[in-house]
């Protein structure tokens, strides 16, 4: 894994270029040193990192894991998409979609590390701008770690220009992500970012502290730190709205729209790709995310995708407020807290008929099932699957809620399983250059 020369393309074209290669050479662009040692370069790097993550990284993480969890079906004739659709042992180590998740998260991580490491030296007296840039870098590095933790059992949490990065377990990695987010939240609580940082980097669409706290809640939950998850979730203002915005040009367009509607590599499965018993026909989120015309492919009914992926300029949430409510409920249930309080949070999601900042309203009756820990956890999972459809979270959820794991003989008919892999194999490109690459997971 190499990080050399990945910052020179601070324009949208270079930062969102596709493919596997991590090194770009632009003889007319600034060098790495020039970028990270100038004030203007660091501000531009922050903007470029945001655009790269919101396009390339979001595309790879959301689409790949959605196929694995059957939210999407791969319908193109491209071999890499067919391999991902097959899953199981038919997913090879040279699959391009898996490589995309790996390389795009690591590339984001490298950019974030440059912001974190260089901002204090370049802006020693501008503590407000420095604070914003470092906190922004720590947030994006934590998101990169979280994306890798969704898809892989082990991975590096520090890039290495020599290609010999060290791998750590998911637990160690997520602990580092939480540490980064804790540090960022503390720094923002001490020093407010400058108006210039807020205007040029965040814009009007990101409330950074709420994003940080939402992801602190998410990653603490992934670690099984329920008290930490609940405390972080309680710190999120549920009335704010943070999102990635897109433009009607390439690069810069909504990446899921591009893959599903334009390139037609994937189609959405009906019922959010869930077994019928995990959905409710009156759930208004079905109509928010899915529409007609339908198409039959391989005996499956596939839907037209809408919601956050309806147009080339549709914004995509950085997190959804109802995820935070469901994290509160889950933390209470798993820590043997008051189940009636957990039900209150669940019902806040179920019964919402209007008022959600993003318009995702279930409009269902209150929960009326058993008031037991297993039943309520299943309800949280059901609500997460509907609310957070195509947000890159279901593969982690499927494991955490102990949904049926795929057997070794998932191939050649994987359609009876809720997920077709537990974790992805490590890309050949990493193994060929990094002797620290672990053995691939069985499935």
Please enumerate in sequence order all residues whose Cβ is within 8 A of that of 204, keeping only pairs 6 or more positions apart, or say none. none
Q: How far apart are CA 285 and CA 190, in angstroms?
A: 39
Written in H, E and C, the secondary structure of the chain is: CCCCCCCCCCCHHHHCCCCCCCCCCCCCCCCHHHHHCCHHHHHHHHHHHHHHHHHHHHHHHHHHHHHHCCCEEECCCCHHHHHHHHCHHHCCCCCHHHHHHHHHHHHHHHHHHHHHHHHHHHCCCCHHHHHHHHHHHHHHHHHHHHHHHHHCCEECCCCCCCCCCCCEEHHHHHHHHHHHHHHHHHHHHHCCCCHHHHHHHHCCCCCHHHHHHHHHHHHHHHHCCHHHHHHHHHCCCCCCCCEECCCCCCCCCCHHHHHHHHCCCEEEEHHHHCCHHHCCCCCHHHHHHEEEEEEEECCEEEEEECHHHCCCCCCEECCCHHHHHHHHHHHHHHCCCCHHHHHHHHHHHHCCCCCCCCCCCCCCCCCCCCCCHHHHHHHHHHHHHHHCCCCCCHHHHHHHCCCCCCCCCCCCCHHHCCCCCCCCCCCHHHHHHCCCCCCCCCC
User: Residue 395's closest CA among 8, 103, 71?
Assistant: 71
pLDDT at 260 over 80: yes
pLDDT at 286 over 70: yes
Residue 392 has phi, psi (to 5 degrees) of 75, 20
**Cβ density class 219-256: b for 16+ within 10 Å, e for less:** bbbbbebbebbbebbebbebeebbbbebeeeebbbbbb
Give percent of the chain above pLDDT 70.
91
pLDDT at 142 over 70: yes
What pLDDT is attached to residue 14?
A: 33
Contact 273, 301 (CB under 8 A): no
Q: 413: pLDDT confidence band, cut at 50, 70 and 90?
A: low
pLDDT at 26 over 60: no
Contact 316, 256 (CB under 8 A): yes
What pLDDT is attached to residue 20?
A: 34
pLDDT tens track for 58-104: 999 999 999 999 999 999 989 999 999 989 988 999 999 999 999 99
pLDDT tens track for 211-222: 999 999 999 999
Q: 163: pLDDT confidence band, cut at 50, 70 and 90?
A: confident
Q: 164: pLDDT confidence band, cut at 50, 70 and 90?
A: confident
Pairing of strands 168-169, 300-305: unpaired
pTM summary value:
0.93
Segment 200-209 mean pLDDT: 97
Residue 350 has phi, psi (to 5 degrees) of -65, -45
Pairing of strands 168-169, 154-155: antiparallel
What pLDDT is attached to residue 30?
A: 59
Please report the domains of the chain, with CATH numbers, ordered by start residue: 12-245+312-433 (1.25.40.390)
Distances (CA, A) of 196 to 39, 43, 131, 177: 12, 10, 12, 27
Q: Distance from CA of residue 100 to its chain's centroid?
A: 13
Q: 19: pLDDT confidence band, cut at 50, 70 and 90?
A: very low
């Amino acid at each position: 894994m190499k990080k050399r020369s990945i910052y020179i393309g601070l324009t949208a074209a270079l930062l969102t270029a596709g493919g596997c290669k991590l090194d770009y050479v632009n003889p007319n662009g600034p060098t790495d040193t020039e970028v990270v040692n100038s004030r203007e370069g660091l501000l531009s790097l922050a903007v470029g990192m945001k655009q790269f993550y919101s396009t390339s990284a979001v595309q790879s993480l959301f689409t790949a894991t959605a196929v694995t969890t059957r939210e999407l079906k791969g319908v193109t004739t491209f071999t890499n998409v067919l391999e991902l659709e097959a899953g199981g042992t038919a997913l090879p180590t040279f699959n391009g979609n898996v490589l995309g998740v790996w390389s795009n998260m690591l590339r984001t991580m490298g950019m974030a590390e440059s912001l974190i490491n260089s901002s204090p030296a370049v802006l020693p007296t501008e503590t407000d701008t420095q604070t914003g840039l470092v906190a922004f870098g720590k947030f994006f590095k934590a998101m990169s770690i979280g994306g890798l933790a969704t898809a892989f059992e082990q991975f590096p949490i520090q890039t290495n220009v020599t290609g010999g990065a060290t791998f750590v377990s998911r637990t160690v990695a997520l602990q580092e992500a939480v540490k980064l987010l804790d540090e960022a939240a503390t720094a923002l609580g001490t020093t407010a970012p400058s108006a210039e940082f807020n205007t040029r980097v965040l814009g009007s669409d990101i409330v950074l502290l709420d994003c940080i706290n939402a992801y602190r809640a998410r990653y603490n939950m992934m670690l099984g730190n329920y008290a930490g998850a609940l405390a972080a979730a309680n710190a999120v203002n549920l009335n704010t709205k943070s999102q990635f915005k897109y433009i009607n040009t390439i690069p810069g367009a909504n990446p899921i729209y591009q893959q599903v509607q334009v390139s037609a590599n994937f189609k959405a499965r009906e019922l959010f790709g869930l077994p019928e018993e995990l959905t409710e026909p009156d759930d208004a989120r079905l109509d928010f995310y899915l529409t007609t015309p339908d198409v039959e492919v391989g005996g499956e009914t596939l839907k037209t995708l809408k919601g956050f992926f309806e147009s080339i300029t549709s914004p995509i949430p950085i997190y959804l407020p109802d995820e935070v409510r469901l994290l509160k409920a889950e933390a209470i249930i798993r820590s043997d807290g008051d189940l009636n309080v957990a039900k209150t949070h669940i019902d806040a999601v179920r019964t919402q008929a209007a008022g959600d900042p993003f318009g995702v309203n279930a409009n269902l009756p209150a929960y009326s099932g058993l008031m037991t820990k297993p039943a309520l956890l299943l309800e949280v999972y059901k609500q997460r699957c509907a609310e957070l459809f195509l947000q890159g979270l279901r593969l982690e959820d499927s494991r955490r809620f102990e949904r049926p794991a795929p057997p070794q003989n998932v191939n050649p008919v994987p359609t009876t399983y809720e997920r077709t892999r537990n974790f992805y194999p490590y890309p050949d490109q990493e193994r060929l250059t990094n002797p620290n690459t672990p053995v691939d997971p069985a499935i």
